[in-house]
Amino acid sequence: MPPLVAFGAALGGLAVVRWAYKTAQRINRELEEARLARMAETVRTSEIPTLKRDPVTGAYRPG
């Protein structure tokens, strides 16, 4: 009986390791997607034109 218990424990340990590995992969994938989305958002905000002062009127206009 003890070899059967050891075999069962080994299978259980492998199942836990497999579950932990898949969970870590999933979390890393979600974090990478969030990082890429944040980078894309930064690129979009850099496309917003800045305001420049019009020397004639003194008003600020998109430049």
| Token pair of 18 as six digits | 């497999």
The whole-number pLDDT of residue 18 equals: 98
DSSP H or E run through 28? helix 2-46
| Per-residue pLDDT reduced to its tens digit, 4-58 | 999 999 999 999 999 999 999 999 999 999 999 888 777 666 677 788 898 888 8
pLDDT, residue 37, reads 87
- Global pTM reads 0.58
pLDDT at 45: 66
Beta partners for residue 60, in sequence order: 53
Give me the pLDDT at residue 10, please.
95
